[in-house]
Structure 1
Amino acid sequence: MNFLRKQLDKAGENFKPGSKFEKFAPALNAFDTFLFVPNHTTKKGAHIRDAIDLKRTMITVVIALLPALIYGIYNAGAQHFGQTGEAFTFMDAFIHGSWKIVPMIAVSYIVGLSIEFAFAVYRGHEVNEGYLVTGLLIPMIMPVDIPLWMVAVSTAFAVVIGKEAFGGTGMNILNPALTARAFAFFAYPTYMSGNEVWVSEASASKVDAITGETILGSLASGNEVSYSFMDMFNGAIPGSIAETSTLWILVGAAILIFTGIGSWRIIVSGFVGAAVMGLIFNAFSVNALMAFDWSNHLVVGGLAFGVVFMATDPVSAAQTTKGKWIYGFLIGFFGIMIRVFNPAYPEGIMLAILLFNVFAPTIDHYVIQANIKRRKKRLAAVQA
């Protein structure tokens, strides 16, 4: 590491102010801070002395994502071999899943970071580490066989329109990863929905048994599902790459909550809101989706993944304590509502989160105003 440190310091001489490559200093600095702890601190004014910084925060989120990602890679292969009827081992499934998913991750990082570097050089500021998480989230919420060029275009849209247009990391009002998925869904609907996109190579297979239909898609069509609650909870079902296993998503949630990075209030209230809406629908049971048990609604589709990893985004979520409870509850509540009432799109958590990303500042505003009014009333009572 000392050798690498010396080489970076030597290269940095060519990027100092007034030097030949001064304009490209943010790019070199990005590599430096990714590999080493920054060697500078604030010089004046109040600041917080803490061991945590943006890089460590993002790395912790990446670690929290790994259990769901690793299982998602395995499940992608397992669903493929399982529906073709071929015998397979864990390594067979994992290798097949890796062959499909690792290139998607590579494309997401290459395209996204290239754009981030370009904007950093153009604006003359440092490259932020926020894309470490976004670059992993984007492929994790995509169908396994989506073409790589679509991943690239969706990533570029999310970074440019969903993030850099607002000023970069910390300034965006929408979750960038969900912005990428929303763009892909509306721009390439045949690759993001239907019964042939959720199982690897289902559309190219000559085996009639392969349909790759998700549980929610089957229920929306009025069909019964044969999966047990534990199948759905463990994630042995078709779906987006890393959204199927509620078990491993909750492991990631525990990491986020234990480290203080993810808001447990948003996570808990998100599941509560979904449960309440599910119970309301169970009381009527007009169709298969409404009759689907409320507990099952919590463990299928993207609900758990969205509530844990998307709704808790500290930039686009509500900031006040009470606002987080309201924000999370409404996401879960409306997520199930959209899921059931929209037969063309039997999954609503993406749209619910994006909707309340927009309303998060409004929620915080009214929470703060309510606090101000209560304090004014107490002050008036004391003065009286």
Structure 2
Amino acid sequence: MAQKKHRPEEIVAKLRQVDVLLSQGRPVAEGIRTIGVTAFTYYRWRKEFGGLKSDQVKRLKDLEKENERLRKAVSDLTLEKLILAEAGSGKLLSPARRRRCIDHAMTKFGVSQRLACRVLGQHRSTQRKQPMGRADEAALTADIVEFATQYGRYGYRRITALLHAAGWAVNVKRVERIWRREGLKVPQRQPKKGRLWLNDGSCVRLRPEHPNHVWSYDFVEDRTHNGRKFRMLNVIDEFTRECIAIRIDRRLRSTDVIDVLSDLFILRGVPGHVRSDNGPEFVAKAVRDWIAAVGAKTAFIEPGSPWENGYCESFNAKLRDELLDGEIFYSLAEAKTVIESWRQHYNTRRPHSSLGYKPPAPAAIVPPSNMAVKPTMH
């Protein structure tokens, strides 16, 4: 038969009973026999509960429970701190990231899903929900990665415009979500300069108001694989953002500027103003006299202030960032072919942010090949 388990109150009552018998002169052995336990159990009870009364036992029991609760609270707080430390210092903004973090915490610390969700702020129904991707998710992701690989300097907004042109009916937020999930990003550029001179030739004072109102042109330099330098003369229409022509040669002088402008004036008409910097090719008397003779006006920016020719400088930056920095030209002929192909892409396909992510000239007139790529003269 199993021995009865005594409650603390019953033990204290039996010990008090033995104390009464001992006060009457009875031997200890007789008192132990009256309470029906062994001498070993009696002395163990005295060691644990000797001298206590019933109300004191109850208070001791409450203190033990409180102590156990505090120990458990401290243990839980320590465990929660470890879970939060394992989650990292950053914010877990998306449910997917919280879901992965909770699974990791459950595996590492052996805690329940309820505790991990409470510590990391995830609803349990959200944790249990299995995300169902769309049927076209894989195809859309592949196209986004392909466009990002092909156009390494485009952000997700411009990639969205390319997707729309390719027939995708997709929201820019969905593209951004996939963009971030795949770890795609555009490296940071140099910070913008805030200084601006407001002279008559500045793009702030003289703003384009219609096509063929203001043209701007500037030089860009690069080198072929053998280290030899070549120059590019870029001409753009500031209103439409269209690159009208890119003349490429080892050397370009004021006569070459007149040659390019004369071809463009014949093909497109004479613009109202022609903006440029103060380089010797642009301020040469022959160039200024020739432009004035055909009915156009020159607009020169302040010396050392390229930001006043902002439209052309912006185009030059895109040309270098999206093409020149990523290409190796083994000959001048190869450079002419590749750069002209990029110019056609820039005019007809590349989304432009200031034009509502539309290309500058989807139906641009392609200039004659003898003007776009001039044979090299030595």
Q: TM-score, normalised by structure 2?
A: 0.23
Q: Which has the larger radius of gyration?
A: 2
Structure with the higher fraction of residues in helix conformation: 1
Identify the structure with bigger relative contact order (alpha carbons < 8 Å, sequence gap 6+): 1
